[in-house]
Structure 1
């Protein structure tokens, strides 16, 4: 994915009219359900291809998973207990991925992802705050990474930042190609948290976002000291 200040960012700015802002807010549910609590001012975006690739690489290297991990090999991965309190949960979690196959195969994957919960455990009590919102795109070859995920996640992330409906975005991806997008979002006054695995992490990400979230600690058992 190649993103330049004079390219996709500028063209996206030019297209974001006030009418589009209103339409997008309604689509995301903000206009119908105005956010009130702090958690309602944040949205998470997951690069499912990146997260799955890095998770499976770490499992292949011998790391043992922990938590309530929902994993379908080559399709998706998610931790249903990733948050430690309901207040940490975002308003919505958007999961972007791509898959080979016909329309029925894509719809099956979309339905499976839509059943995945997000929540966590506070003490001995488990809580669930909602389910993932899937965005599944078609690709021709199973083992290749597509541009569809990168482009659509970037577009939705920028639209969300420009809508003025959120104060905080969380992106799960270790891909450094999103860095110019993060910088643009932060210039809009929106706080950016990025979560990623150590495997394949672009080292420029942690120092250049507001907060870095080490997903190794959420998805895997601690390494012996």
Structure 2
């Protein structure tokens, strides 16, 4: 599985590509940070981010795109910019038929460090160690994009198993309810005719 990790942001947008191997083995294939100037028109900033993401999608052809979900931030303006940047990338992936998964910051931190409240330094240190990198990825947005891709590589199999189990449980429930309905119908029919229900 080739996962494109996205740490969305208007000023700095982290992009990464990670490939999963056997077990929990993951390999970093590429990482970059797209920067847009704060004094540029919003629409133009989003266009620059979208064009960079589209280039990545067409060049690297990921299996899935993992984007950080905007959970909560004190600065509403920053949260809006983050959501808009993530949205244009999700749209670019959807247009190419590439599935998009969203992970909250705490899910990413928990997957990579084992602690959902880890700070950026801890995330960067663990990403560097997990990927066997000689140097820590800089800036933090690059490390965060790699962490998102790693998180998805490790969480996706579990999420798929959970979805399969939920589907199996739903099918079993539907079969049980159908059987119950048939039994009730048989009892009602037997009561009308005076026969013993089978």
Is TM (by shorter chain) over 0.5? no
TM-score, normalised with respect to structure 1: 0.27
Name the larger-Rg structure: 2
When you count strand as a share of all residues, which structure comes out higher?
1
When you count helix as a share of all residues, which structure comes out higher?
2
